[in-house]
C-alpha cells in the first residue's frame, strides 16, 4: 500500500507544479508581448490555454488575457474603425504599425468570443472569471472606443458587447441564477443598467417570437432573475455612478436621464410580461409588483393586460392579481368596473382550506373597506359568505362571522338582511341565487342572513358565541379580525384545553344538616351526617 500512496503524492505535486509553471509561463508571455511586438505571435499560446480542460489553467489564461488586452486597449494598440480581414490587411497597402493593430484586434475579437463561450462552462468559477473579464473589456472599450466616433451625436459605449453578455446570461438550457447574482454589482452602474435593460427587451422579443410565445421555463426564469435584480434610482441626482464618462454632452446622454431609465425599465417589463409565463412565476412577479415595478413605471396602468391574464390562472395568483388591480384603481385612477365581480367569483368553498386564506381575507377586508360601495354589492358579499359558512370549518367561521358583522356596521342599509319583517304569504324559498356570477343579479337584498341564525346552534361554543352577536344591536366599533386570520385547528383545540375556570362556583353559605327544612318526617328518618 505504501508505494501507491507515494505515487499519489508525487502525481499531486506534479499537477501543482504544472499549474504553477503554466501560470508563470503565461505571465511571462504576456510581459514579453507587451514589451516587444516581435513576440506578438505568443498571443496564440495565451488563447490556447483558454481551451484547456483544467480549471486552474483556464482561470489563469482568463486573467492573463484580461491583463493583456486591457493594456492594449489603453495603449490604443488595437485597430480602430471598420476591421479589414487578415488576408486583406497582409496584401493591402497597410503599414507595419497598422498590420500589427489589425492582427491584435482580430486576436481580441477571438478572445471575446471564447470568453462568451466560457459563460456557458460547467464550472462556476470559470464562468465568474470570464464574466468579470468581459466587463473589464467593456470598461476598456468605453474609455477607448474601437469604433470611429465621426459624428457629434454618437456616444461611446460598448453596446454590442453588453448585448452579447446579456444573451449568454439568458440561457435557454442552463439556470444562470448564481452567475446573474454576480452580475448584479455591474448593474449598479447607471449606463450598464440602461443598456442591459434595452438588451433584455430585444433578447426577449427575439427568443419568445422564435418560440412562438410558448412557455420556456429555464429561459424565462433567467430573465426574471436578471430583471428583478435591477434596482432603479428614484431621483436624477442619484445618477452618479457611470462605467463610461462621456467627455462631451454627458448630460444629454440618454443613460444619464432618469426619464429614459424609466422608459427603458417600463419597456423591458412590458416586453417580458406580454408573453405567457410559467404558473409559478406569476406569483413571483405579483409579489414584487407594488414595491419594485409600479413605482418606476411612467404609465403603471399599462400593466392591466398582465394582471387580467394573471387573474385567469386561478387560486392565490388570482387574488394577488386583484391586489395589483386594486393598487392601480386607487393610486393610478384606473377604471376597471369588473373588479368586484372578479373578487365575488373568488368566493368558493375551497377558499377556507387553502394556504393563502389569511391573505385572502386580509385583502378582501381592504377591498371592501370603503363606505361608498353600493348596498347591493356589500349585501351580495355578506350573503355569499354566510352561505359558504354553513360548510366551513370552525377556524374559518371565526374569521367569516366578524367579517360579515363588519360589513353590516360599515353599511347600515344592509341591516335589512338581519331585520326583515315577514308576511304570512311569503314563500319559504330563499330568493338568493348562489350560482349567479354577477353580484348585481344575485338578489341578495331580497334575502336574509338566516345562515348566521343557524350557526348559533353550532357545535363549537366559540362559533355559536360569535353568531349570537347578531342578536343584539351591533356596536359602531368594528371587530379586529387580524387576531384570528392565522388561527389553526390545533391552536383552537389547545386554547380550549388550556382554558382555566375563572368564575367561582356559587355555594350554600350555611352548611345543610338535613334534606329538607321544615319537614318533620324527613328530619326524623334522614340526616346528612
Q: What is the pLDDT of residues 268-294, one digit of tens each?
A: 999 999 999 988 899 899 988 888 888
pLDDT in the model for residue 4: 43
Of 419, 406, 340, residue with least CA distance to 376 = 340
Average pLDDT over residues 252-267: 86
CB 514 within 8 A of CB 522: yes
Give the C-alpha distances (Å, rounded to integers) separating 362 from 83, 176, 365, 435.
Answer: 63, 36, 5, 25
CB 414 within 8 A of CB 446: no
pLDDT in the model for residue 257: 84
pLDDT in the model for residue 163: 92
CB 368 within 8 A of CB 407: yes
What average pLDDT is seen over the chain? 83
pLDDT in the model for residue 3: 44
pLDDT in the model for residue 152: 44
Task: Classify burial at 471, counting beta carbons within 10 Å of its beta carbon; exposed 0-12, middle 13-18, buried 19 or more.
Answer: exposed
CB 361 within 8 A of CB 485: yes
Average pLDDT over residues 55-63: 90
CB 289 within 8 A of CB 303: yes
Contacts of 506 (CB under 8 A, 6+ apart): none
Q: How far apart are alpha carbons 382 and 385 in whole angstroms?
A: 5
pLDDT in the model for residue 220: 94
At 7, the pLDDT band (50, 70, 90 cuts) reads very low
pLDDT in the model for residue 518: 57
At 426, the pLDDT band (50, 70, 90 cuts) reads low
CB 203 within 8 A of CB 170: yes
3-state secondary structure 138-152: HHHHHHCCCCCCCCC
Alpha helices in 119-189 (DSSP H): 124-143, 159-169, 177-183
Alpha helices in 36-95 (DSSP H): 43-49, 55-75, 86-91
Q: How far apart are alpha carbons 132 and 116 in whole angstroms?
A: 11
Record the pTM. Answer: 0.76
Of 254, 194, 202, residue with least CA distance to 223 = 202
C-alpha dihedral, 347 to 348 to 350 to 354, nearest 10° = -10
Q: What is the pLDDT of residues 110-157, one digit of tens each?
A: 999 999 999 999 999 999 999 999 999 999 888 888 876 544 445 678
At 513, the pLDDT band (50, 70, 90 cuts) reads low
Instruction: Indicate whether 521 pLDDT > 60.
Output: yes
Q: What is the pLDDT of residues 94-111, one digit of tens each?
A: 788 888 888 888 999 999
Amino acid at each position: 500500500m505504501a508505494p501507491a500512496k507515494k505515487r499519489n503524492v508525487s502525481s499531486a505535486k506534479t499537477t501543482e507544479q504544472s499549474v504553477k509553471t503554466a501560470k508563470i509561463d503565461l505571465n511571462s508571455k504576456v510581459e514579453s508581448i507587451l514589451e516587444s511586438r516581435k513576440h506578438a505571435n505568443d498571443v496564440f499560446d495565451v488563447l490556447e490555454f483558454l481551451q484547456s480542460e483544467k480549471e486552474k489553467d483556464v482561470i489563469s489564461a482568463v486573467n492573463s488575457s484580461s491583463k493583456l488586452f486591457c493594456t492594449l486597449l489603453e495603449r490604443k494598440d488595437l485597430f480602430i474603425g471598420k476591421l479589414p480581414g487578415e488576408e486583406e490587411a497582409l496584401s493591402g497597402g497597410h503599414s507595419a504599425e497598422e498590420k500589427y493593430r489589425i492582427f491584435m484586434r482580430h486576436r481580441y475579437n477571438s478572445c471575446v468570443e471564447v470568453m462568451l463561450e466560457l459563460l456557458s462552462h460547467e464550472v462556476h468559477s470559470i464562468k465568474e472569471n470570464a464574466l468579470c473579464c468581459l466587463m473589464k473589456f467593456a470598461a476598456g472599450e468605453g474609455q477607448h472606443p474601437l469604433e470611429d466616433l465621426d459624428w457629434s451625436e454618437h456616444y461611446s459605449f460598448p453596446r454590442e458587447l453588453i448585448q452579447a453578455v446579456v444573451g449568454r446570461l439568458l440561457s435557454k438550457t442552463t439556470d444562470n441564477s448564481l452567475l446573474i447574482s454576480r452580475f448584479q454589482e455591474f448593474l449598479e452602474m447607471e449606463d450598464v443598467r440602461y443598456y442591459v435593460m434595452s438588451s433584455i427587451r430585444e433578447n426577449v422579443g427575439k427568443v419568445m417570437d422564435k418560440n412562438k410565445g410558448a412557455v420556456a421555463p429555464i429561459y424565462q426564469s433567467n430573465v426574471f432573475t436578471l430583471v428583478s435584480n435591477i434596482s432603479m434610482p428614484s431621483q436624477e441626482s442619484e445618477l452618479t455612478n457611470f462605467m463610461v464618462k462621456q467627455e462631451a454632452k454627458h448630460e444629454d446622454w440618454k443613460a444619464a436621464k432618469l426619464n429614459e431609465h424609466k422608459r427603458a425599465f417600463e419597456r423591458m417589463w412590458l416586453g417580458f410580461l406580454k408573453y405567457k409565463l410559467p404558473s409559478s412565476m406569476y406569483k413571483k412577479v405579483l409579489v414584487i409588483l407594488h414595491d419594485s415595478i409600479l413605482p418606476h413605471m411612467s404609465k403603471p396602468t399599462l400593466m392591466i393586460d398582465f394582471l387580467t391574464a394573471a387573474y385567469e390562472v386561478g387560486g392565490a395568483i388570482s387574488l394577488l392579481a386583484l391586489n395589483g388591480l386594486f393598487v392601480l384603481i386607487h393610486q393610478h385612477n384606473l377604471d376597471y368596473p369588473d373588479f368586484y365581480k372578479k373578487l365575488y367569483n373568488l368566493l368558493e368553498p375551497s377558499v377556507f382550506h387553502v394556504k393563502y386564506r389569511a391573505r385572502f381575507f386580509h385583502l378582501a377586508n381592504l377591498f371592501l373597506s370603503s363606505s361608498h360601495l353600493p348596498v347591493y354589492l356589500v349585501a351580495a358579499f355578506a350573503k355569499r359568505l354566510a352561505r359558504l359558512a354553513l360548510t366551513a370549518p370552525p377556524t374559518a367561521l371565526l374569521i367569516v362571522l366578524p367579517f360579515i358583522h363588519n360589513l353590516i356596521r360599515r353599511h347600515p342599509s344592509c341591516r335589512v338582511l338581519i331585520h326583515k319583517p315577514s308576511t304570512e304569504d311569503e314563500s319559504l324559498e330563499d330568493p338568493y341565487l348562489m350560482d349567479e356570477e354577477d353580484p348585481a343579479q344575485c338578489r341578495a337584498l331580497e334575502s336574509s342572513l338566516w345562515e348566521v341564525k343557524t350557526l348559533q346552534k353550532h357545535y363549537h361554543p366559540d362559533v355559536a358565541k360569535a353568531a349570537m352577536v347578531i342578536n343584539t344591536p351591533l356596536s359602531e366599533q368594528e371587530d379586529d379580525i387580524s387576531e384570528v386570520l392565522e388561527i389553526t385547528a390545533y391552536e383552537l383545540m389547545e386554547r380550549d384545553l388550556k382554558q382555566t375556570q375563572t368564575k367561582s362556583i356559587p355555594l350554600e353559605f350555611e352548611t345543610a344538616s338535613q334534606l329538607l327544612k321544615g319537614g318533620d318526617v324527613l328530619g326524623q328518618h334522614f340526616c346528612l351526617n
